[in-house]
Amino acid sequence: MLDCKQASQIISQSLDRNLTIRERFALKLHLLICKYCKLFSRQMQILRVAIKQMSASIENNHKIEMPSEAKKRITDLVEAHSAQP
């Protein structure tokens, strides 16, 4: 019988690899009787989605611009390289 510590590890690993049949069965059994690990499992799903959303919100935020010093630096570098034969 899994305890919550073991169950939470398997839940986390289920995001990273395929569980064995034995693990899946043991986890299912545990989740039937443990609402906290069920909540934990749901939290892990939410986290994964939220992390991706966070990346998307940065990528689509047009207020974020590259600092002008960096732009200047890159422009200068590009010019220096173009000047070369």
Partner 1 sequence: MTTPNMHEWLNEHSDYLYRFALARLRDPHQAEDVVQETFLAAIKSPNFAEQSAPRTWLTGILKHKIIDVMRKSVREIAVSDLMNDEDANMDEFFDEQGHWTEKPQTWDMPTDALEQKQFLGVLQTCMEKLPAKAAQLFLMRDVHETDNEEICKELNISTTNAWVMLYRARMGLRKCLEINWIGN
Identify residues 22-81 at the interface with partner 1 (CB under 8 A).
Answer: 36-37, 39-40, 42-44, 46-48, 50-62, 64-67, 70-71, 73-75, 77-79, 81
DSSP annotation string for 17-80: SPPPHHHHHHHHHHHHH-HHHHHHHHHHHHHHHHHHHHHHHHHT-TT----HHHHHHHHHHHHH
Closest to partner 1 by CB, 29 or 78: 78
By CB under 8 A, name the binding residues for partner 1.
3-6, 8-9, 12-13, 15-17, 36-37, 39-40, 42-44, 46-48, 50-62, 64-67, 70-71, 73-75, 77-79, 81-82
